[in-house]
Structure 1
């Protein structure tokens, strides 16, 4: 702990101690001046904050200052009743400030209490209560707004986290202010009671204990009690005013002084009306013109000066060329640095597709993007980066493109006033429309209008609305390129998430056995073959088991795939049904095994072009037959050559799954519907 931390702790303890231990009048004078100085500091800070959260400690500070004043009240009461004095400050307030009159002192004290209790404190309490209620009610809407901005790419994950924290802090702050306002209310009531006790108790002690005449005792103790009440109520009034300023302040780009001068005097011409009104009072009322005319003249002169300044500012803004400002901005280092940033995922569309993204026109693309990110997190186990959505006038009106790290990877055309109809396999002559290709899977389809939609549905066509076409295409692109979206920073975040629940496996694996980059390569290879990494704990435990034996990333990936056998089996046979596969024959496996060359830099596959063409034709033929029967083709091979078979197949059929026997659960039934052999 630092010195200031100890100072705060000691100060709080001393406040409690001074309620018990008598203090000399000199020390009371010092503490009273500290109390007044603290109150002035608080109100000045409140006036210079731009938003309430900049003074978030205010509720706690309000409690501590209230406790400090009550502790002073106890100490001064003890000193007044015991020593017939409360110090020089109290005597000054009791004699000089109120003119030595007990009646005037009582009236002034009561007025201060009424102002604080009925006006400032009551109003501040109500404002804090309403602000707390509205802040809590608006939290869900603010959270949804943040999620929408995040999904649209308008803000980053860090900005979204900061804004969510701010929303929570606002709710906590106004809730605390609602409770803290009760301290001020109780302090005002306590001030009245303590002053009454001082007057009555002082009168009794002065007559009975000190033997003073009743008139002298009343005069002495009443003035001292009123002085004590004033020196405590004035700081309390300042702090109550500070509380009112804090809870009534809206978010602004300046402090209270700048906001008041800028907004109150924003219309200088209105001050001429004020000056004219004052002059009319001087003419038509008995008030002396010598009193009103100087004030009216000052107001009129101020209006003239402010109007002149305002005209000069407007002229300078007109003279400045916006093009020059923009050019100067583009030359700044900050602007150049912004140009270096490349978004991980971008979705650009022509101006004709603006309605699908504009909420005011009924577009729900932003909400769909949020659901896409959640779906990918559930299915792939990755956090998809923010998807940047923007319109691009260089595209055709109905065209959209999808970019991954600045490079276009897909495009499509949609018609907002039509529906995409996909044939069930047998075309119906009565269903006609604009021929097209479904962008996500490349299937032939038709754009049909509203009148043809019902007939297409009756004919068995699958009908999809344009926003669903876009969201489906975007989802498939993200899944296809998921391995490109997992960088070292993303992998580190995933590992840190695992570290919170299973620190042992992370500490064993990283950095002793593998680096973040090596783990990233394994995860990228899994995602490239559409294997989810959501069960990251199993992945890391498997790597920790086999990393001491080999540093070959390809081989480690195979071990991980085998550890995820249950997951891979359920991925291709979700209902535990029989798995129809194309089997790699013995001759094909021997060909691959003989074509693997092992070097110090790693293993690679080398097959002559003639054999490659033959293998390509046979696999394509078998896979095409299964696709025609509505079955997803799967190539099954032995564990030893699976990785090389995958490297070969992904050149011409990247979506064809290549599995090994060790990646399937023993109880799953395998039906070989085709065998690939070579001469």
Structure 2
């Protein structure tokens, strides 16, 4: 704002300071008349604003406005009381209310004043206070569900982060508004009580001053000061009543997006039969003897006439709708294409839950699945360098009870179980626990789903207990890692390249599109992810690709160059407690494999005889299995030229066995051999 203060910023602070001055500084009667007119007008403006807003949140300042206007009104009460008791005159407005409005009658004034107080205090304020209290409670109770819906849309990619923040701000603002209105209604209620007390004080004080200081008779004193006191009370109660009505209207405005007048006319006229029956009833009342004819006949006739006009309008609208249905509006090619594309869109990653598993995403019920999914996406991004696409979570009646399914690009890749009210116990001695036996989906461990109440008992028996959400998230994480190449799309590669270009523009410009196309870069990154090689260090990968790509674009060569550039990072992924456990090849077998290398269309291949290839695969699988039984995650190491073709040979039968070259592990400080793959000659000997 450059140090400038807008006039609108000073209006309310200056007004509040002026209200405080009203309590201590005497005012002339002409100024009091002006302030009373301002008070009535402001209350009327607040009431009309409430009637025309489409959402309660559009008038979010209303609770604060209630406090300011209530304080303003009480300040005017103090100022008018000072004039009434000191001068016996408080301006033309109060005098007009005391003589014209109530015809100068003390009894009529008291009756009208009490009626206004009863309407405001007993009917409007009491009801508005209860509605505000219930509205605040229900709004707060509904917040977790609304937040969960926003998180689900955000994870599904239906909205972006900016829209999610806007919706969360609306929910928070709505809760704050109804909470403030719950307190604001107390101001209105207190104002009504204060009005009664102030009028009583004015009556008693004015009567005493008139007789003691003014030398008036009791009748003259009561006639003079009582009319002024009642007039002052009515002047205060009229704006107070307007503000009470506004409070009641805004807290009862629910489920509507239009102004109150539009909704009232639309909804009251939606059934013409109601208007016809009401009009007929009014005409019947006119036929009763001694009942005035004209009012009932006029009102009944207007109701029937209105129903006829509404019915004619509805027929025209129905005919127009039927015509539009028979002659559908032309759809532009662009709109049709966008609609079809939206229906054809396939979510990259999707978790489908059986209906009884929805509690996993219910934040109000303690479900934290969506939060765990966000944490998983962050973990995988930091681990592999892959930005996992938003995970859409939804329920489906097609799934069996207590089950979930994970889909990638619309194709189901795995299913699992997560029974409500149960936890998964993993261990060997679980026969003494009731439940359903199962196999843990990631590591293939034997387990049993047991009631959650037996968690502590299972832990005492030495079992590892895992909650349902952890089972699902662990399964999802493993599926994302194993299918990482499928999840890395061309647009994702473009986003990674754009992000790298902001920090390493020279590296990016040197590689693409001059040396390699974006599609070739994608193939290299997918190949690295397929072998669990992180692609976080894109700058180093791109530097290696720039040099190797000038020699040719064969995939194996590009991948090996990238692995060499990453160096220790390739082996570090597979180490345990700083130790890299390796399985080696028999030297004679390795020599035989080197001699059998043949160039192929998709890279070098091993031209081994069937017996040797079968024994190689079997021996490698046995070595890996023995290591896993000891809780060891091992890798197979070989000469650099053999790594890619050997990986392709073992991929189908022993897919979980990663193959590294001697270059990958040469700089690792701690290497431990846990097995060796023997050749056919070893068996013969």
Normalised TM-score (structure 1): 0.67
Determine helix, strand or coil for the equivalent of 1:254: coil
Q: Would the aligned equivalents of 2:83 and 2:89 in 1 still touch at CA under 8 Å?
A: yes
Structure 2 residue 82 is matched with structure 1 residue 86: no
Q: What's the counterpart of residue 673 of structure 1?
A: 676
Quote how far apart the aligned CAs of 1:610 are: 11
Quote how far apart the aligned CAs of 1:298 are: 1.5
Q: What's the counterpart of residue 291 of structure 2?
A: 287
Quote how far apart the aligned CAs of 1:307 are: 1.4
Quote how far apart the aligned CAs of 1:299 are: 1.6
Quote how far apart the aligned CAs of 1:256 are: 0.8
1:106 pairs with one of 110, 114, 117:
110
Q: What's the counterpart of residue 579 of structure 1?
A: 581
Q: What RMSD in Å do the two structures reach over aligned CA positions?
A: 5.5
Quote how far apart the aligned CAs of 1:306 are: 1.3
Q: What's the counterpart of residue 268 of structure 2?
A: 264
1:383-431 Cα offsets, whole Å, 9 max, x none, are 532438799xxxxxxxx99665xxx8x6779999xxxxxxxxxxxxxxx
Q: 1:199 to 1:579 in 2, by over 3 A?
A: same
Quote how far apart the aligned CAs of 1:79 are: 2.5
Which is further off, 72-81 or 116-125? Answer: 72-81
Distance 2:562 2:13 in 1: 57
Q: What's the counterpart of residue 438 of structure 2?
A: none
Q: What's the counterpart of residue 226 of structure 2?
A: 222
Distance 1:247 1:510 in 2: 53
1:280-679 to 2 correspondences below 5 Å: 280-321=284-325, 324-325=328-329, 327-328=330-331, 330-331=332-333, 336=338, 339=341, 345-346=347-348, 359=355, 370=370, 375-381=376-382, 382=387, 384-387=389-392, 475=480, 479-484=484-489, 487=492, 530=532, 569=572, 571-574=573-576, 579-582=581-584, 613=604, 625-631=619-625, 634=635, 636=637, 656=658, 658=660, 666-667=669-670, 669-671=672-674, 673=676
Determine helix, strand or coil for the equivalent of 2:328: helix
1:51-90 to 2 correspondences below 5 Å: 51-90=55-94
Determine helix, strand or coil for the equivalent of 1:284: coil
Q: 1:232 to 1:470 in 2, by over 3 A?
A: same
1:423-471 Cα offsets, whole Å, 9 max, x none, are xxxxxxxxxxxxxxxxx99x9xxxxxxxxxxxxxxxxxxxxxxx99997
Q: Would the aligned equivalents of 2:104 and 2:227 in 1 still touch at CA under 8 Å?
A: yes
Distance 1:510 1:273 in 2: 75
Q: Would the aligned equivalents of 1:73 and 1:232 in 2 still touch at CA under 8 Å?
A: yes
Distance 2:390 2:113 in 1: 63
Q: 1:21 to 1:473 in 2, by over 3 A?
A: same
Distance 1:199 1:365 in 2: 64
Quote how far apart the aligned CAs of 1:491 are: 6.9
Quote how far apart the aligned CAs of 1:117 are: 0.8
Q: What's the counterpart of residue 500 of structure 1?
A: none
Q: Would the aligned equivalents of 2:643 and 2:659 in 1 still touch at CA under 8 Å?
A: no
Distance 2:14 2:649 in 1: 74
Quote how far apart the aligned CAs of 1:665 are: 6.2
Determine helix, strand or coil for the equivalent of 1:286: coil
Q: What's the counterpart of residue 173 of structure 2?
A: 169
User: What are structure 2's unaligned runs of at least 5 residues?
Assistant: 397-404, 418-440, 445-471, 512-517, 549-557, 626-632, 680-685
Q: What's the counterpart of residue 50 of structure 1?
A: 54
Q: 1:163 to 1:221 in 2, by over 3 A?
A: same
Q: What's the counterpart of residue 425 of structure 1?
A: none
1:10-69 Cα offsets, whole Å, 9 max, x none, are 222222222222222222222222211211111112112233222222212211221221
Q: Would the aligned equivalents of 2:152 and 2:393 in 1 still touch at CA under 8 Å?
A: no
Q: Would the aligned equivalents of 1:94 and 1:226 in 2 still touch at CA under 8 Å?
A: yes
Q: What's the counterpart of residue 278 of structure 2?
A: 274
Q: Would the aligned equivalents of 2:501 and 2:508 in 1 still touch at CA under 8 Å?
A: no
Distance 2:345 2:299 in 1: 62
Distance 2:665 2:492 in 1: 29
Distance 1:218 1:159 in 2: 65
Aligned residues: 566
Quote how far apart the aligned CAs of 1:119 are: 0.8
1:244-267 Cα offsets, whole Å, 9 max, x none, are 111111122321111111111211
Normalised TM-score (structure 2): 0.66
Q: What's the counterpart of residue 462 of structure 2?
A: none
Distance 1:114 1:230 in 2: 13
Which is further off, 100-109 or 551-560? Answer: 551-560
Quote how far apart the aligned CAs of 1:227 are: 1.9
1:561-618 Cα offsets, whole Å, 9 max, x none, are 66868xx74x534566761245899xx99xx9xxxxxxxxxxxxxx976996366979
Quote how far apart the aligned CAs of 1:169 are: 2.7
Q: 1:628 to 1:224 in 2, by over 3 A?
A: same
Distance 1:82 1:198 in 2: 11
Distance 2:139 2:602 in 1: 71
Q: 1:379 to 1:610 in 2, by over 3 A?
A: closer
Distance 2:272 2:378 in 1: 58
Distance 1:66 1:560 in 2: 74
2:12 pairs with one of 8, 11, 17:
8
1:475-520 Cα offsets, whole Å, 9 max, x none, are 4565334443884897799x9xxxxxxxxxxxxx995666998999
Which is further off, 381-390 or 264-273? Answer: 381-390
Quote how far apart the aligned CAs of 1:158 are: 4.7
Q: Would the aligned equivalents of 1:346 and 1:388 in 2 still touch at CA under 8 Å?
A: no
Determine helix, strand or coil for the equivalent of 2:582: strand
